[in-house]
A and B are shown apart, each in its own frame.
Chain A
Amino acid sequence: AAPPEGAMSNGVYVPPGAANGDVKPVVSTTPLVDFLLQLEDYTPTIPDAVTGYYLNRAGFEASDPRIIRLISLAAQKFISDIANDALQHCKMKGTASGSSRNKSKDKKYTLTMEDLTPALAEYGINVKKPHYFT
């Protein structure tokens, strides 16, 4: 998920190829400024206290509660992206053999480590869990 070129936090960054005219410059203000205003009454799934606690542990003192909500939202999206990728893997394994065509595959999807590991590998996170432990 590479960030689009030109959308720096400062705002007015023009890519070097813009003078030729073949690259359309993306000039935007600080992203999420408007979004921050919408966060006033939005409560993400992670409570503010929990996120604030972990940010404080890292040395981050948040002056604005909306900042905390933004961070918790970003973390949520991170996890749900991984969950969606794992779901894709799970579905692929199920219908790869082309077994049942009546409806969609059985609705009971179970997240297993075998689905999670390749999903995380795409993000560069390698997990190796033992198959069993006594």
Chain B
Amino acid sequence: RAGSKHATTPADNYYLARRRTLQVVVSSLLTEAGFESAEKAAVETLTEMLQSYISEIGRSAKSYCEHTARTQPTLSDIVVTLVEMGFNVETLPAYAKRSQRMVITAPPVTNQPVTPKALTAGQNKPHPSHIPGHFPEFPDPHTYIKTPTYREPVSDYQVLREKAASQRRDVERALTRFMAKTGETQSLFKDDVSTFPLIAARPFTVPYLTALLPSELEMQQMEETDSSEQDDQTDTENLPLHMSTDDSGPEKENASVLQQNTSLSGSRNGEENMIDNPYLRPVKKPKIRRKK
């Protein structure tokens, strides 16, 4: 960015104008100090230092200001910044007064008007709303173009059926294993207990109860016709009930271990649980009977 002998573009001039102003300022300060002339390298050095100094004050003051959860820097931030940079703040008013005594050598240089940089993009740039104007602009609109990629969902009937069947089988197996691991088990083999655990059957005190009571499906139909209260008792006792007793109607095949909520008929008369937990409600089975 330093001035060179080559021709400069308007974009370069936009930056160079301010740097030349700083150079003039440095020269005036040197003249004020008593120098008649100076080496070009020395002036360049001091110009660079002046620019870095101003930038560093700005950055550091902004950091201090944001450190205290503010956005607008105040006088205190700048004072702390100057103190941190080793600047003796107390001498500043004295320096100002001294300068006022001396002649102000460089009048405020009117800058060139803001030359817009070469618009090489050619596209429209959207304007930011709440962002201060001196921030750099947004990039061209083609920066934000994106094509979303997502895979088509699988809709092949055969694949879906296979998937559903294998998922169901895995779930059943996992659940029975879980029941076996956490509950009581009975074993088929005498010596090997862990290989094929069976969920232990719990005998009922009243074994003929199931014969007397209506089946699940009938009870559901009765419930719906009655529109009576719902039974929300989670009953895992009924699972070994279904496993051990051979209730194999076509509708009972659905009552696998997936079914956690079975409505115990004994509780239908008595308990009326007011808590309507959706997880404890009995499962609504589809009305369509399975074709044999």
Contacts and interface: CB of A to CB of B under 8 A. Distances in A.
B35 A7 contact: no
Consensus secondary structure, chain B interface: helix
A38 B95 CA distance: 13
Contacts of A73: 92, 95-96
Contacts of B83: 3, 8-9
B79 A31 contact: yes
A18 interface: no
A74 interface: yes
Interface string A88-110: 00000000000000000001111
A82 B88 CA distance: 14
A54 B58 contact: yes
A50 B75 contact: no
Given A1-B88, A73-B92, A76-B29, A109 B35 contact: yes
B35 A83 contact: yes
B111 A47 contact: yes
B270 interface: no
B196 interface: no
B42 interface: yes
Contact of A35 (B37, B53, B92): B92
B39 A75 contact: no
A83 B50 CA distance: 12
B91 A77 contact: yes
A35 B96 CA distance: 9
Q: Which of B22, B29, B53 has the most CB of A within 10 A?
A: B29
Contact of A58 (B45, B62, B99, B109): B62
A99 B71 CA distance: 59
Interface of B: 18, 21-22, 25-26, 28-30, 32-39, 41-43, 45-46, 49-51, 53-59, 61-62, 71-73, 75-76, 78-80, 82-83, 86-93, 95-96, 99-100, 104-106, 108-109, 111, 132, 134
9 contacts: A30-B75, A33-B75, A38-B96, A39-B96, A56-B58, A80-B29, A109-B35, A112-B42, A113-B42
